[in-house]
Amino acid sequence: MIKETDPRFAGIEKKIGIFVITAIAGIVLVAVFLGIQQDIFIPKTTIFFVTESGQDLNEGMAVKLRGFKIGKVRKVLLDDSARVTV
């Protein structure tokens, strides 16, 4: 057969195996990196409050405590009595 005599095919199984393992490792690393960037691996607790005014509050805005980011505003809702739930 050509495969056995052609030097281009020498060690082809090993090369393909290394390529496949490297590709899978790359995909896993990208998934982990994106998960870390999106805070997927961090436990979350939902906290909300009701206030008279939601001025200067926007969805996606960082929530900080003593200068450290501890979360973000997920929703700003206006209820029937014109109060804002954050």
Q: pLDDT digits over 7-33, tens only?
A: 777 788 899 999 999 999 999 999 999
Q: Give the closest residue to 75 by CA, choosing from 46, 53, 52, 35.
A: 46
Q: What angle do CA 69, 75, 80 make, to 5 degrees?
A: 140
Q: Is pLDDT above 70 for 39?
A: yes
pTM score, whole prediction: 0.55
pLDDT at 15: 92
pLDDT at 19: 97
Average pLDDT over residues 34-47: 85
Q: Break the chain into its structural domains and give their ranges.
A: 1-42, 43-86
Q: Give the closest residue to 39 by CA, choosing from 77, 75, 69, 76.
A: 69
What is the per-residue pLDDT across 52-83, written as a single tens digit (0 to 9) for each? Answer: 877 777 888 888 889 898 888 887 777 777 67
